[in-house]
Amino acid sequence: MNFTEQLNEVGIVLNDTQRSQFDKYFEILVEWNGFMNLTGITEYEEVLVKHFLDSLAVGKYSEKFAGNPELSIIDVGTGAGFPGLPLKIAYPQAKVVLLDSLNKRVKFLDEVITQLGLTGITAVHARAEEGARNAAYREQFDISVSRAVANLSTLVEYCLPFVKAGGYFIAYKSGDIDAEAEGAKRAVSLLGGRIESVEKMTLPGTDIERSFVFVKKEKPTPKKYPRKAGLPSKEPLG
Is 67 marked as a binding-site residue?
no
Average pLDDT over residues 44-72: 90
Planar angle of CA 109, 38, 156, nearest 5 degrees: 75
Is 210 marked as a binding-site residue?
no
For the whole model, what pTM was predicted? 0.96
Is 128 marked as a binding-site residue?
yes
Parse the chain into domains and list their residue ranges.
3-234
Comparing 90 with 65, the larger pLDDT belongs to: 90
* Sequence letter at residue 95: K
Q: In what order do the strands lie in the sheet with 209-217?
A: 121-125, 95-100, 72-76, 141-146, 163-173, 209-217, 193-202
Is 147 marked as a binding-site residue?
yes
> Could you report the per-residue pLDDT of 166-188, keeping only the tens digit for each?
999 999 999 789 999 999 999 99
Is 133 marked as a binding-site residue?
no
* Sequence letter at residue 193: G
Cβ contacts of 186 within 8 Å, gap of 6 or more: 237, 238
- Was domain 3-234 assigned CATH 3.40.50.150? yes
